[in-house]
Amino acid sequence: MVDALATTPAATIVIPVTTDGKTPREGSDTPPEAVDLSRQLAEQSARITALEHELEQLSAARDAAEAEAGDARRTVAVTLGRYRALLLASSDNVPEELVQGDTVDAVDESFRRGRALVERLRNELEAAARQARVPSGTPQRRAADLSGMTPHQKILLGLQRKAG
């Protein structure tokens, strides 16, 4: 006979329980509905166990994939740092601060802009230096400009050159 009802914590399925704590079985004087419920409970419990096991496996696989992705990110960062260093070594004129980026394309673009900036500055400085250039050595000799001198000054200059 059925004396009490029990429920499982995972679901609210009502299971008839006999006085000795056992679930009803076929062939006893238990109603067929109770036997069907017991069978369904056993199937659902097995399904829950299988799903919990599958969840554990998937969680472990996710953790492994996250660890692998972290390793890959670190490898990419190291490789990108080496690539950046090689670019900077190939051009002594581009300042390190101008070459930045998290991807190869970003590093290439910042290096290209840095190289263009250095080239533009170099051209501007060379142009300014050409404009301010003073010839080295003594200037070329040429005759003194006498057009602005008075006749008296011209006579004195001639006497000084003759005397000296």
Token pair of 32 as six digits: 């067929």
Residues 6+ apart with CB under 8 A from 40: 13
Residues 6+ apart with CB under 8 A from 41: 8, 13, 15, 23
Predicted pLDDT at 3: 44
Q: Where are the domains of the chain?
A: 1-81, 91-132
Q: Who has greater pLDDT, 110 or 28?
A: 110
Per-residue pLDDT tens digits for 71-96: 999 999 999 999 999 999 998 789 99
Query: Does the global pTM surpass 0.95?
Result: no
